[in-house]
């Protein structure tokens, strides 16, 4: 009755009293629908009333576990409406309240799974997007139900932030529930693809990429087809500017779009297990998409895109990589197909290594080139959620990202192969008369137990290096002759060494000797 008076002071006092009664659990469950309806009617009053409503909603949902389904949807709907307020304090408080309540629902779902004691009469049957049905507990039903909010409009940026928070905190829960995976497959992935196919707007595209990154990192196994589409989309975005540069009529995409895609790719390249899985799921299949092959080809083409910008002078342009062409006439991935004079690679590294690092940098020239300090960003674009427009981006930043991707791939091969090789070689029996100091031979994978996970993954790495070394070596041979900072030069030289060691350990003679 007090809330219905429309008197601000009376409504504020009434809501405060109601909040205390809820906290004391002195309100009957039957009154919950009336409470939500009353707060909805009072929502149009002043800022203080709106903030009090948000506080009361938190108390109501957290103290009444029986609030499910449409009642929960109506409570969340109030938060969504207040989040759309033009008053900053109301909007931000409503957004925080929404996150808290959504997380509460998923926390309760985790607890529901852990107890595994939902009464049979409490189970609810829902229809899944693929047409099948499933029986879910009350909180699992709340977490799954995608259509009970009855919203006319929802800001995509806020929705994507909310989705990102849920996927970040509850990715294990999603993997355990097929109905939640179906939501990702049938609702989220199409939404992301549609948003990324429209005109690029920085705040929205940034948030889409952040969610895509989570899907690729956490759900690439469960969403195999969708992951392939997103992988190839990222590669296409990075490569498209190279291809469209010769087309006068091509629509010019904002440069920050490629940067966002490359920041995502850098994060993926640093995950060595994910990279191995990419090969195993896509490239290793005869009819599969060549995701890894396309990735390293795109990286090689990117680093060689603007030689002058990276400090490569004219007389050096004939050494190593000659052009952007990534394949030979027949589409093969041979060394010559990557524009690589393999015989000159050893000379490149020897020349670079024989000089001091500073001497090499000075040899190339000054005023252009790559360094983390000059080419990097203090805060990467993908983390600049508060920006309405793209921040200033150094022109060489995208090439720094490409170098870091290549270095991560090479180091990933070495960090996985080296310890396994050492372990296997230490345990192998020595032949009679074999010198103790004698260097161990290359690894014969065919002699290892075929069903062991280590053997399977070593076979994957061997296949990746065998197919990918021309592009990686071509890229490294070009990068080593650019104007690099001392730190990056050491990283690239270490990558050379890592690739040589891995090729030697895995009995890949041609890439080892190249």
Per domain, the residue ranges of the chain are 284-428+440-514
At residue 477, does pLDDT exceed 70?
yes
What average pLDDT score do residues 217-232 get? 95
Among 111-120, 208-217, 227-236, 325-334, which stretch is predicted with the lowest mean pLDDT? 325-334
Q: How crowded is residue 15: how many other Cβ atoms within 10 Å of its Cβ?
A: 23
Q: Which residue has the tokens 């031979």?
A: 441
**143, 180 in Cβ contact below 8 A?**
yes
Res 387 pLDDT > 60? yes
pLDDT digits (tens, 9 = 90+) for 306-359: 998 888 754 444 343 333 443 443 344 444 444 444 445 555 555 554 544 444
User: Rounded to 5, what percent of the chain is helix, strand, coil?
Assistant: 70, 0, 30
| % of residues, the chain, pLDDT over 90 | 47
Burial class (CB in 10 A: 0-12, 13-18, 19+), 188: buried
Angle between helices 224-244 and 291-303 (to 10 degrees): 30
Over residues 44-67, the pLDDT tens digits come to 888 888 999 999 999 988 888 777
Give the tens place of pLDDT for each residue, 239-261.
975 555 444 434 578 999 999 99
- 100-124 residue pLDDT tens: 999 998 998 888 888 776 776 677 7
Task: Report the alpha-carbon distance of residue 188 to residue 323 in Å, rounded.
Answer: 39
Q: How confident is the model at residue 135 (pLDDT cuts 50, 70, 90)?
A: confident
Is residue 13 pLDDT above 50, yes or no?
A: yes
């Amino acid at each position: 009755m007090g809330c219905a008076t429309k008197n601000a002071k009376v409504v504020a006092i009434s809501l405060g009293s109601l909040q205390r009664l809820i906290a004391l659990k002195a309100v009957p469950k039957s009154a919950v629908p009336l409470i939500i309806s009353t707060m909805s009617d009072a929502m149009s009053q002043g800022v203080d009333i709106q903030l009090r409503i948000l506080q009361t909603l938190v108390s109501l949902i957290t103290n009444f576990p029986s609030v499910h389904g449409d009642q929960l949807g109506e409570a969340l709907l109030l938060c969504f409406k207040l989040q759309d307020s033009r008053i900053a304090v109301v909007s931000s408080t409503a957004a925080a309240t929404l996150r808290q309540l959504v997380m509460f629902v998923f926390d309760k779902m985790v607890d529901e799974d852990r107890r595994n004691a939902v009464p049979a009469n409490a189970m609810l049957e829902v229809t899944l997007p693929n047409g099948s049905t499933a029986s879910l507990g009350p909180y699992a039903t709340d977490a799954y139900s995608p259509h009970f909010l009855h919203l006319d409009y929802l800001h995509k940026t806020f929705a994507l932030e909310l989705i990102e928070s849920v996927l970040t905190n509850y990715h294990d829960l999603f993997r355990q529930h097929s109905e939640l995976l179906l939501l990702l497959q049938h609702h989220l992935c199409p939404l992301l693809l549609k948003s990324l196919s429209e005109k690029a707007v920085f705040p929205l595209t940034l948030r889409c990429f952040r969610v895509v990154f989570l899907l690729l990192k956490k759900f690439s196994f469960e969403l195999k087809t969708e992951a392939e589409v997103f992988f190839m989309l990222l590669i296409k975005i990075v490569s498209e500017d190279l291809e469209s540069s010769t087309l006068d009529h091509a629509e010019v995409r904002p440069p920050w779009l490629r940067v966002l895609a490359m920041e995502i790719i850098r994060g993926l390249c640093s995950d060595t297990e994910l990279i191995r899985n990419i090969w195993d799921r896509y490239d290793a299949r005869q009819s599969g998409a060549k995701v890894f092959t396309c990735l390293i080809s795109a990286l090689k083409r990117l680093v060689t895109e603007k030689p002058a910008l990276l400090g490569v002078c004219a007389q050096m342009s004939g050494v190593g990589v000659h052009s952007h062409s990534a394949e030979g006439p027949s589409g093969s991935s041979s060394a010559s197909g990557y524009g690589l004079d393999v015989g000159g690679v050893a000379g490149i590294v020897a020349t670079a290594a024989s000089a001091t690092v500073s001497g090499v940098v000075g040899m190339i020239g000054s005023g252009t080139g790559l360094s983390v300090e000059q080419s990097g960003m203090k805060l990467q674009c993908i983390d600049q959620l508060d920006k309405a427009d793209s921040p200033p981006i150094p022109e060489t930043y995208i090439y720094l990202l490409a170098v870091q991707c290549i270095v991560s791939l090479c180091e990933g091969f070495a960090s996985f192969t080296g310890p396994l090789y050492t372990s296997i070689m230490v345990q192998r029996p020595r032949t009679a008369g074999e010198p103790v100091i004698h260097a161990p031979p290359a690894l014969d994978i065919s002699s290892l137990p075929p069903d062991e996970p280590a053997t399977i993954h070593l076979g994957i790495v061997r296949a990746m290096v065998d197919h990918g070394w021309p592009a990686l070596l071509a890229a490294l041979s070009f990068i080593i002759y650019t104007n690099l900072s001392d730190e990056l030069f050491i990283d690239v030289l270490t990558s050379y060494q890592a690739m040589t060691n891995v090729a030697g350990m895995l009995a890949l003679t041609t890439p080892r000797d190249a």
